């Protein structure tokens, strides 16, 4: 019974990984063909972050959020959930066991900057652009699982939502992914037909 349960759990885990891979491949295809359909609405970052975290395997990391007072962003909630999920998943993959991953945000002028902060090995400045290239994994010899699509998909979605994403050093070591999106209050949405 124990062996059967272990095999069933392994099959379930591998099926989830395969499903995720297929979903990521289809998503990347839609991004590259400009077929991503957006539903840009005022979006509460805290709600989306909590939803994204429910889908991420923390791999034993402490994930915290500091999003109180964060203004709403103009975004597609489902795409933003995937972006935050991919960024947190990546942070958990690369951070030392038992370390923390944090999501925080601030309003900056007409924008909101959302940060996913880890204490992993960091990404050398000359290689940062490579991190967003599909199927590119920095340090493939590390044994970290993945296909190299998570950050490419995140960058594609953010760009589709008129935002940007940048890699910064975390003070004390690690990587901070800074995601900038328009603040919802700063954008006037014209009614249809005008």
Look at residue 24 and give its three-state secondary structure: helix
Contact 61, 117 (CB under 8 A): no
Residue 43, C-beta contacts closer than 8 angstroms, at least 6 positions apart:
72, 73, 74, 75, 76, 77, 80, 184
Contact 115, 177 (CB under 8 A): yes
What angle is formed at CA 109 by the lines to CA 189 and CA 81, rounded to 5 degrees?
65
Within 10 angstroms of residue 79's Cβ, the number of other Cβ atoms is: 24
Distance CA 99, CA 192 (A): 48
Distance CA 133, CA 86 (A): 14
Q: Residue 145 pLDDT > 80, yes or no?
A: no
What angle is formed at CA 32 by the lines to CA 29 and CA 36, rounded to 5 degrees?
80
User: Residue 194: pLDDT band by 50, 70, 90 thresholds?
Assistant: very low
Q: What does pTM read for this prediction?
A: 0.78
- The predicted-structure confidence for 58-112, as pLDDT tens digits, reads as follows 889 999 999 999 999 999 998 999 899 999 999 998 899 889 999 999 999 999 9
Residue bearing tokens 């590259």: 32
Residue 7, C-beta contacts closer than 8 angstroms, at least 6 positions apart:
none
Give the per-residue pLDDT at 190: 54
Half-sphere exposure of 13 (CA within 13 A, CB side): 7
């Amino acid at each position: 019974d124990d062996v059967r349960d272990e095999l069933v759990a392994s099959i379930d885990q591998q099926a989830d990984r395969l499903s995720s891979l297929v979903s990521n491949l289809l998503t990347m295809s839609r991004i590259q063909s400009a077929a991503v359909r957006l539903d840009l609405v005022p979006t509460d970052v805290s709600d989306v972050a909590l939803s994204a975290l429910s889908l991420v395997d923390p791999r034993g990391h402490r994930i915290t959020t500091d999003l109180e007072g964060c203004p709403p962003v103009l975004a597609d909630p489902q795409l933003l959930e995937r972006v935050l999920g991919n960024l947190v998943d990546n942070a958990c993959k690369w951070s030392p066991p038992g370390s923390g991953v944090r999501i925080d945000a601030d309003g900056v002028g007409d924008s909101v900057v959302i940060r996913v902060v880890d204490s992993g090995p960091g990404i050398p400045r000359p290689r940062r652009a490579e991190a967003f290239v599909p199927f590119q994994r920095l340090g493939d010899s590390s044994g970290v699982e993945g296909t190299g699509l998570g950050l490419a998909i995140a960058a594609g979605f953010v760009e589709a939502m008129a935002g940007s994403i940048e890699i910064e050093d975390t003070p004390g070591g690690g990587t901070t992914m800074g995601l900038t999106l328009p603040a919802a209050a700063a954008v006037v949405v014209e009614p249809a037909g005008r």
